[in-house]
Amino acid sequence: MTEQETPLWEVFIRPRNGLAHRHVGSVHAADEVLALDAARDVYTRRGEGNSIWVVRSDAIAASDPDHADETFDPTADKIYRHPTFYEIPEDVGHM
Amino acid sequence: MYSQGLIGADGRTEESEAFLDAFQKRIDAEEKIEPKDAMPEGYRRTLIRQIGQHAHSEIVGMLPEGNWITRAPSLKRKAALLAKVQDEGGHGLYLYAAAETLGVSREQMTEELLSGKAKYSSIFNYPTLNWADMGAIGWLVDGAAIMNQIPLCRCSFGPYARAMIRVCKEESFHQRQGYEIMLTLCRGTAEQKQMAQDALDRLWWPALMMFGPHDADSAHSEQSMKWKIKRFSNDQLRQKFIDATVPQAEYLGLTVPDPDLRWDDSLNGGKGGYAHGDIDWDEFWRVVKGDGVMNRDRIKARKKAWDDGAWVREAALKHAEKRAMRKTQEAAE
């Protein structure tokens, strides 16, 4: 097909106030106005939310899954970051 | 909501044994595979093909039912049918989006559908001749699709599994509205009941074919099961569908058009199930390969929709360009 490709947008929906927007999928649209319209039609046919964000897919930077081990390694081996690392006598009560 | 057993998968792959073993271990541990993860080429290719076929089936599946929207017998039926057809369009779009995460473009997939290279569920190459077909499609075709799709919610590929969860949630209304149409017809006049029987007679066998060829003839099924793209074999799913559907037909007072259909205590590991007659696989392959009653018509309709929409896509892109330019100019002022 020789025609120009229509850009891809990632869609985020907030189910209700108090919750964060959550990724639900993507749509193709020429601009953000049409992307919001398409996202409403495709992803909110049954009261799934009260707010939509759309973001151009090519504007998202992502971590590399091939480097996931190095990237996320420090979270596992620093056990002193967790409350259970510290010993508090039971007599002290809930802390 | 219309998947069919995958047709023409090619699970061949050339990666090193160490890589394939490590990948298999992740699958066996029920880890989900996400789009940017390293994966065997065969896994990627199989998924692109399967999700693509599934998406195309949803989109082409809008046609046989769309055919009856203007002729629905009441406003209630019309509203329900419109909502159902809109859902199918939505399901197609979720699925295209899931396939696109694997590196295939929407335009490429559309082109493959329009050129006839990509397949879609053979069921949509049958015509919808009377209003009862709307009932039989919801009941049987969506029913068969649900059987196929529930296990796909646990597919090893994350985006496909997530799309399937959404689809299955939305789906149950489709089957219920279809069965309700059948029930209304069966409780109506003798002529209306005959319409329901006629729809069942024509759609029963094509619905069974939706599960794809017998396991013994399903070339790449085994690899798909190993990679946990599929969880049950074609024949297992077909059996489940028959066991669930035959009592529903009895409730309607309709006759399943299979003289060999009978209860068999030895099926399903001794729990019993319905043994069925031979499926006409020649017909299946004939329809898959393009010689069903409606194949040409369906593709023609999709081509027309694509071509007629060209000016809209073009105008939208131009408009977006113009707005972006204006914004830059305003910022410069």
**Residue contact A29–B316, C-beta within 8 A:** yes
Residue A1 sits at the chain B interface (C-beta within 8 Å): yes
* Nearest CB partner across the interface for B170, out of A1, A3, A46: A46
Amino acid letter, residue B123: I
Whether B275 and B262 have beta carbons less than 8 Å apart is answered as: yes
Residue-wise burial string across B35-58, b where 16 or more C-beta atoms lie within 10 A, e elsewhere: beeebbebbbbbbbbbbbbbbbbb
Q: Calculate mean pLDDT across residues B198-219.
A: 92
Provide the pLDDT confidence category of residue A81 given band limits of 50, 70 and 90: confident
Provide the pLDDT confidence category of residue A77 given band limits of 50, 70 and 90: confident
Among chain B residues, CA nearest to A42: B90
**DSSP label at B33?**
B
Res A1 pLDDT > 50: no
| Sign of the dihedral through C-alpha A82, A87, A90, A93 | negative
Among chain B residues, CA nearest to A46: B170
Comparison of pLDDT for B6 and B237, the residue scoring more: B237
Q: Calculate mean pLDDT across residues A66-77.
A: 79
- The reported pLDDT for the residue numbered B5 is 57
Strand partners of residue A13: A22, A52
Provide the pLDDT confidence category of residue B11 given band limits of 50, 70 and 90: low
Nearest-CA distance from B107 to chain A in Å?
A: 7
Nearest-CA distance from A78 to chain B in Å?
A: 25
ipTM of model over 0.85 = no
Res B103 pLDDT > 60: yes
- The reported pLDDT for the residue numbered A78 is 83
Residue-by-residue DSSP string for A32-86: HHHHHHHHHHHH-TTS--SEEEEEEGGG-----GGGHHHHHTHHHH-GGGSGGGS
Q: Calculate mean pLDDT across residues B196-215.
A: 96
Chains A and B form CB pairs within 8 A to the count of 62
Provide the pLDDT confidence category of residue B289 given band limits of 50, 70 and 90: confident
Question: Which residues does B310 contact at the CB level (< 8 Å), separation at least 6?
Answer: A3
The model carries a pTM of 0.91
Res B164 pLDDT > 50: yes
Provide the pLDDT confidence category of residue B182 given band limits of 50, 70 and 90: very high
* Nearest CB partner across the interface for B100, out of A1, A8, A64: A8
CA atoms in the 13 A half-sphere facing the CB of B295:
18
**DSSP label at A6?**
P
Full set of structural domains in chain A with CATH: 8-90 (3.10.20.520)
Interface test with chain A among B19, B34, B36, by most A beta carbons within 10 Å: B36
Provide the pLDDT confidence category of residue A79 given band limits of 50, 70 and 90: confident
Whether B109 and B118 have beta carbons less than 8 Å apart is answered as: yes
CA distance B61 to B121: 8
Nearest-CA distance from B254 to chain A in Å?
A: 34
* Nearest CB partner across the interface for B105, out of A5, A62, A64: A5
**Residue contact B170–A8, C-beta within 8 A:** no
Res A20 pLDDT > 80: yes
Residue A63 sits at the chain B interface (C-beta within 8 Å): no
Among chain B residues, CA nearest to A66: B37
The pLDDT mean for chain B works out to 93
Among chain A residues, CA nearest to B165: A24
Provide the pLDDT confidence category of residue B3 given band limits of 50, 70 and 90: low
| Sign of the dihedral through C-alpha B298, B300, B304, B307 | positive
